[in-house]
Structure 1
Amino acid sequence: MAADGPGKAGAGKERMPTKRWMRDEESGDESGGRAQGFVLVAEPDAGRRQAYARALSDMGFTTRATGSGNEALEILLSDDAPDAFVIDVDLPDQSGLQILSQLTRRKLTIPAVIATRGAHQHAFEVMSYPKKTFLAVRDADLIALAVRQILPTRRPAAGKGETDLSAEERARCREIQEMLVVQELPDFPGWESAALYQPCSVVGGDYLDIFPLPNGRVGIVVADVSGHGFPGAMIMVMVRTAFRLIAPALGPRETVVEVNRFVTNDIKKRMFVSAMYAVMDPLTGHLEILNCGQNPPLLVSARSGPQLVKSSGLAMGLNSGSMFEKELKVQAVPVEIGDHLLLYTDGVVEAKNARGEDLGDDTLLEISRRSSTGNAQDMVDSVAEAIVEHRGMAAQSDDITIVAFKRLSFIGSADAPTLLDSLE
């Protein structure tokens, strides 16, 4: 169900846009086709090789791809050496580790993005290579972002100022982020859904994902990355990919533990991800929630009113051991007919007015109580309007993400294929 339903703002009120899923026309590509650098892709798998090259080309790089270790080394040692290269350790005829070793011996420091299994991260050849980024997740968009980050910033062409280049980089990063936030909400039979995504800058730190799981269930992730810009965008890609790879094979708690372990191993120090992971069964309304430092979901019961669903847990990326697992709790919640479920990031309750006062949980609870008889879009619109009214003339201080679901009726198992199709 699309996220851009009609609003019901009162006369004279400023409207917060309820559709920010698609790219704004003014934030388009300003590069004019100018190449950002020459990148070699050395990857044995043909499908990944093509995906990496395509993602790099979309970001403005010229590329050359090979599945041969010998050919890769020949290109790296040639007079027309690339500005950076992407390499898999498991190349035929000459491994990626051997190539890195030879470049190190020759004191060649071409920036490298090493995209391979995590077991190789601490290999001597990898550790001793002077300028590299190691990525265990082979995601094309993340690979392209890693290359963009590791390369020295290119000087602007004649007549182009530094501010224009910065705008170009922000637009590139915005494109990646908008690929991560679902463009249109899935149409669940027997449910309504609506959403709002409003970054406070060109490149925000929030992300929302909804994806299918076995047995007709649905995975929902609402997350907030501590860093913005390229580092934050890379982490968002990493978290999204990890959830989608791990969740279909494991239960909710085991999924979060594994995603956190993966994120903690690769995230930069002083960065973290606050996330809420929910597994919903649309057939029964059964919901399991795991909260990792994110705001508690709000269940608006048609019978008993609104309540915050509190479930403890540490933010991801801070600890991968027993402390994280000890704090992590699963909260099971039944969503009944007529109930609303509201998921949101801290930009909602921490929206500040000119006096620095937060909107707060109590106000959110009261807004949801007044809107409980409306549909999912009414709920989102009411919260958005309350934020604008509370903020007054103060600027938006944080990204805002809201997604609302309302259960309308029971659905039969025959509707499950339709539900899964809507998520693909």
Structure 2
Amino acid sequence: MTEQPTSFERPQAGTDPADPRGALLRAPGPQRPAPGAAGLPQAQAQAQARGAGETPPGAPAAAVSDGTGPEHSQPAAAESMGAPPARAKPGVGEHRPRPASAPDAIPAQPPGLEQERRSGQGLPPGRPTPMRRDGDRLRFVGAATRRIARGIDLDEIVMGLCRATVPTFSDAILVYLRDPLPVGDERPTGPVVLRLRRTDRIPEERDTEGGFLPVFQPEPSELSALTAELCEVRPGGALNEVLRGVRPVFADAPAARAALPELLGEDGESLVPGGQRAILAPLRGRRRVIGAAVFLRGPERVAFEADDLLVAAQLATHSALGIDKAVLYGREAYIADELQRTMLPETLPQPTGVRLASRYLPAAETARVGGDWYDAIPLPGSRVALVVGDVMGHSMTSAAIMGQLRTTAQTLAGLDLPPQEVLHHLDEQAQRLGTDRMATCLYAVYDPVSHRITIANAGHPPPVLLHLGGRAEVLRVPAGAPIGVGGVDFEAVELDAPAGATLLLYTDGLVESRLRDVWTGIEQLREKLAATAQLTGPDHPPPLEALCDEVLDMLGPGDRDDDIALLAARFDGIAPSDVAYWYLEPEDAAPGRARRLARRALARWGLEELTDSVELLVSEVVTNAVRYATRPVTLRLLRTDVLRCEVGDDVPQLPRLRQARATDEGGRGLYLVNRMARRWGATRLSTGKVVWFELNRI
């Protein structure tokens, strides 16, 4: 389908604009002239008609309200305005008064004319005649397009088109859209396929009670059953030619008679009444045709007129442009969701001695991206870094800055820097990004062996610690200045982290809103945690995932003004009996001593089946360490669900795996570790490095 102009010229069908039959009429059959009116001039005939209580031809009635919204509301009585009787054609420069109705109201039939239709009595003398048909059409198009424009997504716009046209303009409607819908400037490939998106009709129970005339009987579901769900537009076919023509056409036009069977299918052709009671309107977006709409009227209703093609064209144009915007908005929302998803961890790690759970909620559906983030980063020595931060703002820029700060925090955590040093470097990075790049951040490091946690804060809300007995306390952590201020020293505090306790890190969206300040929200959070812990008893902490859900339940309706990031950590710790730690002098006898110490620890833990593997791998790793170390080498064994061995030295250079040649006397130690260990790795520290490996317990 090629591009065609979207302007519509008024059809010259020779239709009398004063004819009382129109798309928006709900009057009885054609008006008969009053006795003696034949052969008189038009103005005199109208005067006699008014004297006889009949409606003059130049003043058609408006559409009957369907009562579904402000567009279909009934206007106020015309006599309250005190307006004089309307002329058939206003003179030049005269102002036609507008009825006292809502601005968005679709014109409705005046009560007097409805009474005339039901009782057969004419309008009493002195009352204004009904509105002209052209003015009714303009007001209907204005109200209908406003209703269509209110939609944001695709379904809302299509529903707005259906609700605005049925029953005011048509008795039923079928809307077809391209599948898939093209987005923006992308050029679709493959054949053009139209899918039936929605159907609508007048409910049967309202056909007579609400003043509607009976129409044909199929229900919306039956309309879908009688028509083809998919239609392939064949190049050069009749449907393709109608869609290329852009302008709506009557169903009895030669082009439409050939196109409708292709669109509706063989069974759907029976839905189209005879005569000008169906309109096929292409839906053209900014660059291409994206679908079609079929407007239908029942046989008992007045047929469409030539002016109704202009109405259908306006409805189709506004709907197509709205659908274009909805598709673009949906693509932007998808991009925003993907951006936010990539900025946050897909899954949390499972470090030894701590269990983790998280939640993230955007501020609203219309603001899917924000600057809140959380992270959990494994550190050497079975430790874990817990991070939560909040970049000011709710835009793509905030999300991009958040991603850069999160990446920087992960890099700094890999260097095993103290928490206050990590915040200091984050502050410098934020200043390099711009002068107005502000963020808050809380960085904590948990050590399951010592059962201690070190926390540094940069203007972030303080964490809450829920003890095993059900007591919840707000930790006293120096607030500090936000990241990006510059020239500020950050302070770290070290606190106890007893086994069974739960630490809750969060952003201010959880505790602050228009209804409460930050400290009121923090106190409510503390009380909520304490109340939840009471449900499971003093010896059993609440399940971590359920606890996160309970925390989010404290948010009431209208209580979310900001993004929410939540990170919960349950401290299990590692018992002292499951830890073995030694210092080894950097001498040739160190590998042999390391094998003996590891053998004794495994015997004490009942893991003799791992003795051979552990002795071999410990000997290789310790040998590499003492070869270059100048200070004592550390050896630590940890017994959890796996057996973990860590060897530390003061050399910062990390070992790398390489393939030894057949003539080399060394270089096979890490190859053995890589083949036999479940996992292994090396981490650089501020004082050197740590090489570790894990073995499965048999």
The TM-score by the shorter chain falls in which range?
A: 0.5 to 0.7
CA deviations over 1:175-210 (Å, ceiling 9, x no partner): 122112222222234433322211113112211111
The answer to whether the aligner puts 1:181 opposite 2:344 as a matched pair is yes
Instruction: Name the larger-Rg structure.
Output: 2
Which amino acid letter does the alignment assign opposite residue 405 of structure 1? Answer: A
Return the offset for 1:247.
2.1
Which amino acid letter does the alignment assign opposite residue 215 of structure 1? Answer: G
* Aligned counterpart for 1:209 among listed residues 375, 381, 390: 375
Q: Secondary structure at the match of 1:315?
A: coil
- What does 1:263-412 correspond to in 2, within 5 Å? 263-267=430-434, 269-302=435-468, 305-312=471-478, 313-319=480-486, 321=487, 324-325=488-489, 328-353=490-515, 360-372=521-533, 373-387=541-555, 391=556, 393-394=557-558, 396-408=560-572, 410=574, 412=578
Paired with 1:34 and 1:163, the residues of 2 have a C-alpha distance of: 14
The answer to whether the aligner puts 1:234 opposite 2:386 as a matched pair is no
Return the offset for 1:338.
1.9
CA deviations over 1:287-331 (Å, ceiling 9, x no partner): 111111111011122358221123231111122x2xx11xx1102
Decide whether aligned partners of structure 1 residues 275 and 235 sit closer, same or farther in structure 2, where only a CA change above 3 A counts: same
Paired with 1:287 and 1:30, the residues of 2 have a C-alpha distance of: 53
Paired with 1:240 and 1:307, the residues of 2 have a C-alpha distance of: 28
Between 1:307-316 and 1:186-195, the stretch displaced more is 186-195
User: 1:82 corresponds to which residue?
Assistant: none
* Aligned counterpart for 2:427 among listed residues 238, 241, 260: 260
Return the offset for 1:270.
3.2
Decide whether aligned partners of structure 1 residues 276 and 175 sit closer, same or farther in structure 2, where only a CA change above 3 A counts: same
Among all aligned residue pairs of Structure 1 and Structure 2, give the percentage whose two residues are the same amino acid: 26
Decide whether aligned partners of structure 1 residues 386 and 395 sit closer, same or farther in structure 2, where only a CA change above 3 A counts: closer
How many residues are matched? 267
- What does 1:99-118 correspond to in 2, within 5 Å? none
Paired with 2:327 and 2:519, the residues of 1 have a C-alpha distance of: 35
Q: Secondary structure at the match of 2:554?
A: helix
Return the offset for 1:166.
4.3
Structure with the larger RCO, 1 or 2 (CA within 8 Å, 6+ apart)? 1
Paired with 1:414 and 1:265, the residues of 2 have a C-alpha distance of: 44
Q: Secondary structure at the match of 1:364?
A: helix
After superposition, the CA RMSD in angstroms is 3.5
Q: Secondary structure at the match of 1:383?
A: helix
CA deviations over 1:218-275 (Å, ceiling 9, x no partner): 12211111122221121011101111112222222212111210111113x4331111
Which amino acid letter does the alignment assign opposite residue 261 of structure 1? Answer: E
Q: Secondary structure at the match of 1:342?
A: strand
CA deviations over 1:365-409 (Å, ceiling 9, x no partner): 11111223312223212211222xxx2x32521111222122235
CA deviations over 1:343-379 (Å, ceiling 9, x no partner): 11111111455x8998612211111112233122232
Paired with 1:422 and 1:351, the residues of 2 have a C-alpha distance of: 46
Paired with 1:187 and 1:287, the residues of 2 have a C-alpha distance of: 17
CA contact (8 A) 1:170 1:229 kept: no
Paired with 1:403 and 1:341, the residues of 2 have a C-alpha distance of: 8
Paired with 2:372 and 2:450, the residues of 1 have a C-alpha distance of: 29
Paired with 2:185 and 2:643, the residues of 1 have a C-alpha distance of: 44
Paired with 1:246 and 1:357, the residues of 2 have a C-alpha distance of: 30
> Which structure 1 segments of 5+ residues have no match?
1-25, 37-155
Decide whether aligned partners of structure 1 residues 368 and 200 sit closer, same or farther in structure 2, where only a CA change above 3 A counts: same
Which amino acid letter does the alignment assign opposite residue 205 of structure 1? Answer: G
Paired with 1:240 and 1:30, the residues of 2 have a C-alpha distance of: 36
Decide whether aligned partners of structure 1 residues 414 and 180 sit closer, same or farther in structure 2, where only a CA change above 3 A counts: farther
Paired with 1:287 and 1:410, the residues of 2 have a C-alpha distance of: 14
Decide whether aligned partners of structure 1 residues 409 and 271 sit closer, same or farther in structure 2, where only a CA change above 3 A counts: closer
Between 1:163-172 and 1:256-265, the stretch displaced more is 163-172
Return the offset for 1:276.
0.8
Which amino acid letter does the alignment assign opposite residue 553 of structure 2? Answer: E
> Which structure 2 segments of 5+ residues have no match?
1-154, 156-179, 188-285, 289-320, 534-540, 579-637, 645-677, 682-698
Which amino acid letter does the alignment assign opposite residue 254 of structure 1? Answer: E
